[in-house]
Chain A
Amino acid sequence: MAEAGLEANGINKRYGHVQALDGADFSAAIGEVTALIGDNGAGKSTLVKVLSGAIRPDGGAITLAGLPLQLSGPLDAQRHGIETVYQDLALAPDLDAAANLHLGRELYLVPWLGILDRRAMARKAREVFADLGVQLPDVHAPVGTLSGGQRQTVAVARAVYFASRIIFMDEPTAALGVVQRGRVLDTIKRVRDRGIGVVLISHNMPEVLAVADRVEVLRLGRRVASYQGRNTSVEELVGAMTGALAMRGPGQGPEYGAGRAAS
């Protein structure tokens, strides 16, 4: 049902004598939300860093839309339409939302003099936020003065604005309240509906079940399970994460999971 997106096969990464990734496989389709879950130390962050170009794997192959992909760095990943929303958001608190949205990719009025087109960037920012269905009280307020949820919105909006294929979101709701969390999850679904693949890294199982079309479970540096989001349950996911459950095919979860996924 989904277009071929990002595929990783047999990714290895070793830090000293720690085997962080041990032949990990991963796939995320365009237009789907893929949740990447696993216990602490399962290799989630390492895998995301490899796939977003932040670190180079020791071995393994990555393909994007069926073509082999060699990433030389995060900027290279960005050129391929892959964006990452970091857990610490990576925003400049003293700059406003429009400036943060365009950071490193400014629009210019007089390019050879480096003169910025601030009006165009503010207009574009309002468009992007409106497009995502979020409202910022003021695109000219420094983002440091915004609430946690609004800052999250700015970080997500930046990724969405530039991503054409895949967005990685590392624990995007970890620091948020209930209402703001709901808004971010809505945003994730809206991004997916725009035909972008969203990879959600999360510890929050109900949240994963609420938005994920597919769930990939990582354990000890290896993919141990892959579920369709609507056919699984918290118990099943936790079982796979901890190794209490042997790997099973999709479609065997109780109704609990399906209900959540449909909502």
Chain B
Amino acid sequence: MSEPEFDAQTQIAGMPQSEAPPQDAWVLPGTTGSGSPGGPDDGPLTARSALRRLVTLNEAWTAIALIAIMAYFSIASPGKFLTTGDLSNIAANAAPLLVMAIGQTYVILTAGIDLSVGSVLVFAGVVAGEYYQSQPGSGTNAGWGVILVGMLIAVAVGLAFGAIQGFVIAKAKVPPLITTLAGLLVAEGISYLITGGSDVRSVPNRLAQTIGLGSVGGLPWLVIISFALTLVFGLILSYTSFGRYTYAIGSNAEAARRAGIKVDLHLIKVYALQGMLSGAAGLLSLAYFGTTTISGHSTDNLTVITAVVLGGASLFGGRGSMFGTLLGVFIPAMLLTGLVILAVNQYWQYVAIGLVLGAAVYLDQFRRRLRERS
């Protein structure tokens, strides 16, 4: 079948629909090539899909928002905002959140949600902290061997907790919202039971002074680790079958199942990954603060979900990217720093983020409707 014939057919197919979007006018006879950006050959259809894709490219909007925020504060407070010290401080503060947001991106892409991240962070931190405390001299002078074992413990605790939640979601079919809400309560409860409510403060000095507060060539270890994890899991998301199945399941789980993808097993893996990363975040937090900060993470789940959604991920699954999440994590962080520097009451950040989040989800719904009409 030749090209012109196809064009003729799309015209016919497009014409009877009275509510056809205005772009369709490009393929009407006579107008082809005159007003459309592309030449007549790569013509109307690619131009149309390019436009569509631009509108649906959520990361673009997130990047614009982030740049606008940074530009505004830079102009409003010249020389104060965006100094290198500032930037690495912001990034170090956000490191545990970013690490949890990596996992949450996978979870939300499958059309799931994980509310337990902050509690799992605390739980993993508490177990690792208890291990360090059990070492000679409360572990303050512990060597790298002990530190490494503590790291593995934190990661393993998170992984196991996440895998159990994933199993309940995938096999027992309890909705993710409820499963992870239950998980949140259980992890928090156990953390309080283990510690009796008082934070564990025995963090090995070597751990606190390197990963917690140290830096290499001006870059804090926290930033290096969190960005490296983002890069690795971003590449996995984009370039491997694990990432592709994550998108496929969120997009149409039944189609994935019929295509032979082991949907249940994949979901378990995704929640286990989220748990593992929350555990890793727990260790970063422990190293950074020098304490388990049990009561300091009750809204981490909401912060992380907000970041992922601001980054362009759809709560209905199937759409989103790691790059978007990276941007999304830094919007609230930048806002907070900027407002503090401008001496505006910092609580305005919650109002601003709330409004932006509402707008982001509305935009997602709007795009979805636009697409389904076509």
Residues of A within 8 A of B (CB): 74-75, 78, 86, 89-95, 99, 103-106, 108, 113-116, 118, 133-135, 137-138, 141-142, 144-145, 147, 149, 177, 179-180, 183
Contacts and interface: CB of A to CB of B under 8 A. Distances in A.
A115 B236 CA distance: 8
B259 interface: yes
B12 interface: yes
Nearest to B248: A92
Contacts of B374: 145, 147
Contact of B255 (A90, A133, A177): A90
Given A74-B258, A92-B251, A106 B371 contact: no
B111 to A, nearest CB: 11
A93 B9 contact: no
B260 A94 contact: no
A135 B1 contact: yes
Interface residues of B, number: 37
B241 A108 contact: yes
B3 A135 contact: yes
A180 B13 contact: yes
A99 B45 CA distance: 20
Which 5 pairs of residues, A with B, have the shortest CB-CB distance? A104-B259, A94-B318, A137-B45, A92-B251, A90-B255
Contact of A177 (B16, B46, B48, B258): B16
Nearest to B255: A90
B38 to A, nearest CB: 11
B369 to A, nearest CB: 12
Contacts of A86: 258
Interface string B4-34: 0010010011001000000000000000000
Contacts of A142: 56
Nearest to B258: A90
Contact of A179 (B13, B45, B49, B260): B13
Contacts of B371: 93, 144-145
B86 interface: no
